[in-house]
Structures are given as C-alpha cells and as structure tokens.
Structure 1
Amino acid sequence: MASVPNADTGSAEYRAANLEAALKPATAAHVRPEIVLARLRRHGRRLFLPAIVLLVVAPLAGFYGSWFREQWQQLSVLGGAALVILLLCLLPYLAWLGTTFTITTKRIIIRHGVIVRSRSEVSLGRIREVQLRSNAIQRLYRSGTIHLAVGSDSVLKLNDVPQAELVVSMLHELIERSYAAETTLPTAYPSDNHVSSTVNN
C-alpha cells in the first residue's frame, strides 16, 4: 500500500506527491503533449449572401437617402438600411466568426457564440464512430457535417466543415493512434518509496 506523505509539510512537494499517488498509473496519452492540429470554421460560402446584401443595400440607402428632401424621410431610409445590414449581414458574420472547431492530438473542442460563449469538447478516446453527411451544395464545395458518436446516445456535430473528407481522414488517424496510446503504459514510474523519500527530504 502506498505510503502517504506527511500533511504537515504543506509544501509543493507534498501536493505533487499526493497528485502523483492519486493519479498513477497514467496512460501514455496523458504523458504526450497536446498539439493543436487544426482550427476550423464553417464553410465561407455562408458569407456570400450577407456580402451581396451589403453590396446592394448600402448604395441604395445612399441614393434614396439623398433623393428624399425631408430629414425624417432620409433618417427613415438610413435607419431601415442599417437594420437590414444588422440582421442580414452583421449578425450572420458574427455567428460564423464565433463558431470554431479545434482539433488537437487529444481532443476536439467546439466553441459557439460571441457575447455568451459556450464550449463543448470530447477526448479522442471517447469517440466510437465518425460519419460524414453532405448535401448536394456541400458536395459541390467539398464541405459537410461530421457526426461524432460519443458513448451510446450522444452525438457531437461539426457543422459544414470545409474540406470535410480530409478532416474525416485526419480524425480516423488520430482516433486510431489515441486507442493505441491508451493501451500503452509509460515504461517507468517513480515507486511509492521514492515519492515518500522525496517528500520527507
């Protein structure tokens, strides 16, 4: 049975020894450093319609705003144009900008929102199945929605990812390597006696 270091020390060595004793043996996946492999957003074609609206509404607002003589009419035109640009241009752009998919060597992280941020993540070792679904438009742009089966019922979605087939291939490779690493233990761990002697010294 592992010996427990003296709690009266209150030192960093004591806390480190307790953590070591509580967590070991760790798998090789926990020893490997985490590296960010890709940061993705949804396909950029989602910004095509907002860009068209901006290019159309802005000149029309300038033209009709100067065409009316009354100030309240000009302000009404400019206010309506500003509202259209806000709803159809700015908000879609912020929604696209605020959604990111981060793939690392250990996990997948999904972030949503601009003002209120939400975050979901899953370790590669928990993913049981990867599916790619693409409609006709997505196939034209080589994008798609990736479904990650986590556990029995939970599904995590990466919506409208660009270069979806390449991302799926990368995920398969990462998951296979993660499974292989989880079954491999580090070759050496400090013994309990070594931990105790280190703390007591």
Structure 2
Amino acid sequence: MALPQKLLSKDEIVVRHMRTHPKILLWRSLVVIALLAVGVVASILFPDANWRTGAVIAVWVLVVIAVMPAFVVPWLRWMTTTYTVTSKRVITRSGIINKTGHDLPLSRISDVQQERTITDRMFGCGSLSLQTSADEPLVLVDVPDVEMVQVEISNLLFHDVEGAVNADPDD
C-alpha cells in the first residue's frame, strides 16, 4: 500500500515507496516449515489410543502457538514498516499497534551513506544512513536495492527530481 496522497503536499512526488527487505522472513519460514513437519509427524506417530485425538489437538495447538512469535509477529512488523522517498522528504512508518513515523526533509540531509554486509549483498539490500548536521543519522535498515535508492536521494539533493524518478530503469 502506497503512501496516501492526502499525506503529500500538492507538488510532492513519490519517487520510491518500499518495505524493508523480506529476508528476515526467510529463516522464519523455515522455522514454520519445521514446526509443521513436527505437527504432521506427531499426528502420524501417535499410537491409536483413547487419548490420541486429544494429543493430536494439543500438538497442533502448540504448533499454532509457536508459529505466532516465530512468523506472524515478524511478518506483521515487516508489513507495517515502510520507507518512502519523495521529492521533498524521506518518510518512515512502522508499528503494528503503536505507530511511529519520521519525516526527514531532504534539505536537512548533508550526507548519504550505505552499508552492505555480505548477506545484504547476497540479498540485494543494505542499510542507508542519512546524516543531518544537527541530529543522529536516520538509519534505514534492510533497504531493497540500496544502491539505487542512494542514487535517487543524491539526485534529489541536487534538485534533480526527474533524474531521481528515472534513476531506476526497471521502474
């Protein structure tokens, strides 16, 4: 879901709207698959007895309870964390129940740095640090295609909105 038009000024253009990279969900998906396998194996291996139905139900209840913190909560956190680069500012929004947001005007950015670990490079993402002259930097973690986002923000800092919008040939 893109940023609503009502939150933008009349001549503000959305250059890029993105979520954090979904790499955090990869390992959690493997955990869910393992939990489902445990549930299936336990359901098959329980001996036929009076208590079998109750035991199978108990195992699946435990699987569902384990899936919540292992996958559902991180997935909700991923779904609700967005970064938006517009022609005037960088906007961050996050939160499942309590929402937090940060708007950083482009005019306050003095330096744009990126950091990519080896795993970030494998997944094509990285962290972007937007330094201002007054505050701690705003760090955007797990930014997909971080190099292109850095180019777009740099173009915007030099007042080249068209260059920022057209920076990514895939869009």
TM-score range, shorter chain: 0.7 to 0.9
Aligned residues of 1:40 and 1:101 also touching (Cα < 8 A)? yes
- The answer as to 2:167 corresponding to 1:177 is no
2:66 aligned to which of 81, 84, 107:
84
Q: Which residue of 2 aligns with 1:123?
A: 105
Q: Could you tell me how far 1:170 is from its partner in structure 2?
A: 0.6
Q: How many residues align?
A: 148
**Structure 1 counterpart SS, 2:127:** strand
Superposed structure 1 runs of 4+ greater than 6 Å apart: none
Greater RCO structure (CA 8 Å; 6+ sep)? 1
Instruction: Classify 1:140/1:59 alpha carbon distance in 2 versus 1 (closer, same or farther; 3 Å).
Output: closer
Aligned residues of 1:39 and 1:101 also touching (Cα < 8 A)? yes
Q: Could you tell me how far 1:32 is from its partner in structure 2?
A: 7.1
The one-letter code sitting in structure 2 at the alignment partner of 1:168 is Q
- Unaligned stretches of 5+ residues in structure 2: 1-8, 161-171
**For 1:96-115, what aligned pairs fall within 5 Å after superposition?**
96-115=78-97
Cα RMSD, aligned residues only: 1.9
1:40 aligned to which of 12, 18, 25:
18
- What is the percent sequence identity of the aligned residues? 26
TM-score by length of 1: 0.68
Aligned residues of 1:42 and 1:162 also touching (Cα < 8 A)? yes
2:28 aligned to which of 50, 55, 70:
50
1:147 aligned to which of 124, 129, 132:
129
- Unaligned stretches of 5+ residues in structure 1: 1-30, 179-201
Q: Which residue of 2 aligns with 1:14?
A: none
- Mapped partners of 2:10, 2:91: distance in 1: 18
- Mapped partners of 1:38, 1:114: distance in 2: 22
- Mapped partners of 1:117, 1:156: distance in 2: 17
Q: Which residue of 2 aligns with 1:59?
A: 37
Q: Could you tell me how far 1:66 is from its partner in structure 2?
A: 4.9
Q: Could you tell me how far 1:63 is from its partner in structure 2?
A: 3.3
Q: Could you tell me how far 1:62 is from its partner in structure 2?
A: 3.0
**Structure 2 counterpart SS, 1:34:** coil
TM-score by length of 2: 0.79
- Mapped partners of 1:140, 1:49: distance in 2: 15
Aligned residues of 1:50 and 1:93 also touching (Cα < 8 A)? no
The one-letter code sitting in structure 1 at the alignment partner of 2:37 is P
The one-letter code sitting in structure 1 at the alignment partner of 2:27 is L
Per-residue CA deviations over 1:51-100 (Å, capped at 9, x if unaligned) read 21222222321331354342442233112211221111111111111110
